[in-house]
Amino acid sequence: SRESNLELIDFVSAYLSEYGVESQRVYDDSGTKANLFATIGPDTEGGIVLSAHTDVVPVDGQEWDSDPFSVTMKRGRLYGRGTSDMKSFPALFLSMLPQFLAADLHIPVHLALSYDEEVGCLGAPQLIALIKSLGISPSAVIIGEPTEMKVINRHKGVFRFSTTANGLEAHSAYPDRGVSAIFHAADTIHFLNDLSKDLRTRADGIGSFDPPYHTLQVGTLSGGTAANIVPRKCTFGWEVRLIPGGDIHTLVLAPLEHYLDEEVRPLMHKISSHASIRTETVVQIPGLGPEEIPDAENLGRELSGDNGPAGAISFGTEAGLFQRAGFATFVCGPGSILQAHKPNEYIEIDQIETCKQFMERLINRLRRA
């Protein structure tokens, strides 16, 4: 995500052009990243959107047995960063582009590639806005995240926050003359820990999620300058994952603000009226819930051969954003999320074969009679 994706977008655009397929781009504010959208088939209403993100997480500090940015095949697996999450899905579609074009489709297929999904689904809103501006209202959006080709119609919403306590520095020999940002941040973290336990009891009837409840965890903490200085500043990053239907304000933010107003800020202000503690929203990724009319989900079952009940996942995707925009959406793609973001990430070749069958069924479904 920290690098430009334009080289990849240029490659895909040129590849599509070789087959006479035009594509459109939407750039970020820096001009160094872009979404790509292309339509294969007739210029008619509806269609199926195949969606994927172009970015990957870094490999810094990970010990790989092979070059993470060069695909290595061994023992029935393809190893490399992004093989499972989630580049096999769009790569397979692009490899089958000649078959889609030869099929004389009567319903279009749309390719939607986004940037910066891994750092908060930053590109997807612009991509969705482009689709809407083109007057396209797809009958289904398929997010090709790794689900082992199982149809997923629910995932948790993801909310990330940064809380900063600003205190007052003092010599550590006289701690009562200062306001310890770290101590007050620690008290707040302790409250959030208690709240995380309470959240486990606040989600009923959703046992298909793993874990089957809302979660909250603190992931980063930094502050202070030296052991003999009462710390002026402390910042911690934290995350909440809510099952669809859970309200972040009611469940988390309102209780937190009440605690800060009643317990933390008064103590800080006794020493310094300028002391503060504030929370900033960093990422908001809406959850995905079942569609009232499950036509898209039923299509997914037909294409995947998955006859079981639709599943639920605890990781976030761009699906919630597409659904919030009014598009019927489900998640289904090759690979396992358990292999993602790790050293020696891989995808089973059997999963790619299963996804190929999915694409072949899609072609047959959309070709002219």
d(CA 369, CA 363): 12
Residues with a known catalytic role: 55, 117
Q: What does the pLDDT average to over 316-322?
A: 97
What band does 65 get if pLDDT is binned at 50, 70 and 90? very high
Helix (H, G, I), strand (E, B) or coil at 152: strand
Q: What does the pLDDT average to over 178-196?
A: 99
pLDDT above 70: residue 369? no
- In order of their start, the domains of the chain are 6-155+287-366 (3.40.630.10), 157-285 (3.30.70.360)
What band does 368 get if pLDDT is binned at 50, 70 and 90? confident
**DSSP string of 48-99?**
EEEEEE------TT---SS-TTS-EEETTEEESTTIIIIIHHHHHHHHTHHH
Paired residues of 10 in beta bridges: none
pLDDT, residue 309, reads 85
pLDDT, residue 168, reads 99
pLDDT, residue 37, reads 99
d(CA 50, CA 358): 12
Q: What does the pLDDT average to over 153-182?
A: 98
What global pTM score does this model have? 0.92
Closest CA to 12 of 51, 43, 54: 54
pLDDT, residue 204, reads 57
pLDDT, residue 306, reads 85
Mean pLDDT (the chain) is 96
Asked whether the beta carbons of 7 and 108 are under 8 A apart, the reply is no
Q: What does the pLDDT average to over 108-128?
A: 98
Q: What does the pLDDT average to over 42-52?
A: 95
pLDDT above 60: residue 221? yes
Tokens for 223?
A: 């502050």
What band does 310 get if pLDDT is binned at 50, 70 and 90? confident
Q: Identify the residue whose tokens are 């996804």.
A: 355
What band does 152 get if pLDDT is binned at 50, 70 and 90? very high
Strands 152-155 and 72-74: unpaired
d(CA 69, CA 60): 12
CA distances from 11 to 23, 36, 47, 56 (A): 12, 11, 24, 17
Asked whether the beta carbons of 233 and 223 are under 8 A apart, the reply is yes
**HSE (CB half, 13 Å, CA atoms) of 80?**
14
Helix (H, G, I), strand (E, B) or coil at 289: coil
Q: By percentage, how much of the chain surpasses pLDDT 90?
A: 95
Q: Identify the residue whose tokens are 């941040």.
A: 185
Q: Which residues contact 44 (CB under 8 A, 6 or more apart)?
A: 106, 107, 108
pLDDT above 60: residue 205? no
